[in-house]
Amino acid sequence: MTDTTVSTAMLQGFEPLSSLSAARLKEFAGLCYLEHVSKGLDPFRVKSAADQLAFLANGELELSFAGGGSETVAAGSAEARAALLRPQPIASAKALTDVDLIRIDRDLLDIMMTWDQLAAFDSTRTGRFKILPSGGNDPALSNWNLMSGVFSVTNLKGGAFANLPSAHIGELLNRFQRIDVKLGEVVIREGDEGDYYYVIESGRAQVSRLVGGVTVTLADLKSGDAFGEEALVSEAKRNATVTMKTNGVLLRLAKQDFIALLKEPLLNRLPAARAQEKVAGGAQWLDVRYPSEYQYDKLPGAINVPLAEVRNAFSVLDKSREYVVYCQSGRRSSAAAFLLAHRGFRVFLLDGGLWAARQDGGNA
């Protein structure tokens, strides 16, 4: 079996893929692959038909069902326009000729379809997202669909918006405002009150902080990166300054909308007893306080990643593991839990922090 690339023209022949825009299909094609299966072999012997969506691009297949019966499907037929899914589970299959299958992650496709369909929102207000007339070319795309950095397939699968409840997608997009920014413009300033959450649609920015009278660069941000959430989650003042390194466009979400649509849905709060159960079941305590606090007052088995270092830990922490985040009051851990959840980590928050847990008589 040899894997080769998939073209957008190939995807346009299948349903419901044909409903995606040309730009989306081009991006999506890079996440699919074409698999050649020789005559007489079962293409689902190793990779079950239930694991991924499979579309028949070339050749002829015989499908045998778990409940009995069979069906022959030929590429180009009406039956082959949809994925090889049937009401009865497919027990096995046989390539009656050499065949080519397009394999697609079913969860990935479902995410894209969800965002595409829920992006049909009010477009009448200036500065809001706008759905343009439907058609076959890029000018007919909705503006959100053009933002490959912000709303890329991979970002929706495991990035900034991966854990957003589906019910909030349309309203979230409707409440974002697009603003133009210039090289050297200060978007947020250290010490100011938090008012907006930002996502970079295009351009680059720099995050800096004043340390001992000296400006220290903390991070460089690019298209698709978000900033400004820490002050909104923790109800604190801005702890850094963000300055544009180029001209660009930002998406801005007001504090009240951020809290209602993004913050609370992503914070999985647990009381002390439930948090202990999680850890006993294999989750990891994550202490986001300063090392000096952690050293003298840590929970058994906890690891320490101070809030200021959470962004740097994204590549180190294990996405396959669950984390229970805590601090003293729950304020810093709320910010850390949001940042982690925003990047696709499975994270829970010790509600109220150590103070509340100990007042309730918990061991945490």
Spatial strand order in the sheet of 3-4:
3-4, 33-37, 99-104, 53-58
Helix (H) or strand (E) holding 104, with range, is strand 99-104
**3-state class (DSSP) for residue 51:** coil
**3-state class (DSSP) for residue 273:** helix
**3-state class (DSSP) for residue 331:** helix
- If phi > 0 it is left, if psi is from -120 to 50 it is alpha, else beta; for residue 69 that is left
Pick from 255, 262, 254, 256: nearest CA to 127: 254
Query: How far apart are the C-alpha atoms of 230 and 91, rounded to whole Å?
Result: 50
Query: How far apart are the C-alpha atoms of 161 and 140, rounded to whole Å?
Result: 24
CA distances from 315 to 33, 319, 337, 343 (A): 27, 9, 16, 10
Which residues is 260 bridged to in the sheet? none
Q: State the helix-helix crossing angle for 106-118 and 22-29, rounded to 10 degrees.
A: 160
- Phi/psi at 125 (5° precision): -95, 135
Estimate to the nearest angstrom the gap between the alpha carbon of 240 and the chain centroid: 25
Annotation marks residue 327 as catalytic: yes
Annotated catalytic residue within 56, 251, 327, 364 = 327
Which DSSP letter does residue 330 get? S
Helix (H) or strand (E) holding 318, with range, is none
Q: 319: which residues sit within 8 A by CB, 6+ positions away?
A: 158, 344, 345, 346
Do residues 228 and 194 touch, judged by C-beta distance below 8 A?
A: yes
**3-state class (DSSP) for residue 106:** helix
- If phi > 0 it is left, if psi is from -120 to 50 it is alpha, else beta; for residue 170 that is alpha
Query: Catalytic site residues?
Result: 327
